[in-house]
C-alpha cells in the first residue's frame, strides 16, 4: 500500500533517476572541475584467468572481491557480436589449414568458453589460448590492419586481452597463403585497407599487409561494420571536445596509442577519486563513463 501511495504522489519519479544522476555529474564536472575516469572493466571471477590477463586500474572492485564490486558486465553489442561471428568463421577455416586450435576464455562468467579446432576435434598442432575481459576483443581484431597491431592496441594499450603465445597468435591470424599478394586489390579492399591504416597513427611503424584475414568474404556488411566502427572511434573525441568535457589526462578513450608512446601520460598508480584540474587534489568523489 505504501508503494502505491508513493507512486500516486510522484507517478513519474522513477523516470527522473537517470536525469538527476546526469545533472549531478554535470555539476561535479563543470562547476567542481572534476575530471572523468573511464569506466573500468570488471575483474575476472576466476583468479587463474585474472592472473593471465593484463592488469587494469580498477579501485571499484579490488582484486580480493568476488564478482560485482559495483561494476556490471557490459552486454555484447551488435557490432561486437558480428565481429565475433566473423572471427570464429575465419578460425574454423584457418585452424583446419594450420592444424591448430584456438580457445577463447572470457573474464565474464556469463560468457561461455569456446574452443575452435580442426573439424571440431583436438588439433595436433599449436594450441592458442586467448583470455579477454571484454567482447571489444573481436572488434579490435576486425578493425586493426594486422594481428601485430591488434596485440599492440588490445593487449598493451587497452589491456582487453592476452594470449598464451604471441608468435602463434600472429601466425594464426595472418592472412592464409590463399590470399596471394600478387593479386590486384579491388576498390573495396583498398577502401577497407585505407580505413584500417587511418586508425593507426604514423609513429606506429608496423607493416600493413595487403590482405586482411577477416575480409574473406569482403561484402557490403563487412564494409558497413568497419565504417561504423571507424565512425565511433573518431566520434568520441569530437563530442567530448565540442562539449568541453575532460578525462583525466592519459585516460582518454581515444588516447590508447599515446599511452603506448609516452609513459608519462599514464594515470598515477595510487590514489582514489576524481582529479580536480586546478590542484589535482584527492576528493573521494569519482566520475566514470
Predicted TM-score of the model (pTM): 0.80
Helix or strand (DSSP H, E) at 105: strand 101-106
Within a domain: residue 251? Answer: no
61 occurs within a structural domain: no
Q: Identify whether the C-beta of residue 142 lies closer than 8 Å to the C-beta of residue 107.
A: no
Task: Give domain status of residue 128, yes or no.
Answer: yes
The predicted structure's pLDDT at residue 163: 95
Q: Is residue 156 part of a domain?
A: yes
Instruction: Walk across the sheet containing 101-106 and list its strands.
Output: 114-116, 101-106, 127-132, 161-163
**Residue 107 domain-assigned (yes or no):** yes
Domain membership of residue 106 (yes or no) is: yes
Q: Is residue 92 part of a domain?
A: yes
pLDDT at residue 124 in the model: 61
Residue-level pLDDT at 289? 40
Domain that holds residue 142: 78-176+187-229
Give the chain's mean pLDDT.
80
Distance between CA atoms of 168 and 94, rounded to whole angstroms? 12
Cα–Cα distance for residue pair 73/145, rounded to 1 Å? 28
Consecutive H or E run containing 120: none
Question: For residues 50 and 55, what is the distance between their CA atoms, to the nearest angstrom?
Answer: 8
Residue 164 lies in a domain: yes
Q: What is the pLDDT of residues 76-120, one digit of tens each?
A: 889 999 999 999 999 998 888 888 899 999 998 888 899 998 754
Which residues of the chain fall below pLDDT 50? Answer: 68-69, 120, 182, 263-289
- pLDDT value at residue 231: 93
Map residue 28 onto helix, strand or coil: helix
The CATH number given to whatever domain includes residue 100 is 3.30.1050
> Total structural domains in the chain?
1
Amino acid at each position: 500500500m505504501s508503494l502505491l501511495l508513493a507512486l500516486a504522489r510522484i507517478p513519474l519519479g522513477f523516470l527522473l533517476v537517470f536525469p538527476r544522476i546526469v545533472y549531478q555529474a554535470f555539476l561535479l564536472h563543470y562547476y567542481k572541475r572534476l575530471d572523468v575516469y573511464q569506466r573500468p572493466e570488471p575483474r575476472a571471477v576466476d583468479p587463474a584467468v585474472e592472473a593471465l590477463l593484463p592488469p587494469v586500474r580498477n579501485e571499484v572492485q579490488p582484486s580480493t572481491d568476488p564478482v560485482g564490486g559495483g561494476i556490471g558486465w557490459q552486454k555484447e553489442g551488435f557490432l561486437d557480436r558480428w565481429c565475433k561471428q566473423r572471427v570464429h568463421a575465419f578460425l574454423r577455416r584457418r585452424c583446419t589449414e594450420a592444424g591448430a586450435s584456438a580457445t577463447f576464455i572470457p573474464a565474464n562468467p556469463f560468457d561461455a568458453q569456446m574452443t575452435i579446432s580442426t573439424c571440431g576435434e583436438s588439433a595436433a598442432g599449436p594450441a592458442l589460448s586467448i583470455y579477454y575481459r571484454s567482447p571489444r576483443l573481436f572488434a579490435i581484431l576486425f578493425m586493426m590492419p594486422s594481428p601485430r597491431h591488434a596485440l599492440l592496441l588490445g593487449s598493451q594499450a587497452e589491456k582487453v586481452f592476452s594470449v598464451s603465445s604471441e608468435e602463434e597468435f600472429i601466425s594464426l591470424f595472418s592472412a592464409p597463403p590463399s590470399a596471394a599478394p600478387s593479386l590486384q586489390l579491388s576498390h573495396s579492399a583498398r577502401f577497407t585497407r585505407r580505413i584500417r591504416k587511418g586508425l593507426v597513427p604514423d609513429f606506429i611503424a608496423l607493416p600493413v599487409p595487403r590482405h586482411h584475414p577477416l575480409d574473406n568474404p569482403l561484402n557490403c556488411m563487412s564494409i558497413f561494420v568497419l565504417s561504423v566502427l571507424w565512425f565511433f572511434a573518431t566520434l568520441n573525441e569530437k563530442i567530448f571536445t565540442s562539449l568541453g568535457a575532460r578525462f583525466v589526462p592519459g585516460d582518454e578513450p581515444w588516447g590508447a596509442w599515446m599511452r603506448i608512446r609516452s609513459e608519462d601520460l599514464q594515470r598515477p598508480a595510487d590514489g582514489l577519486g576524481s582529479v580536480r584540474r586546478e590542484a589535482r587534489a584527492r576528493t573521494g568523489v569519482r566520475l566514470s563513463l
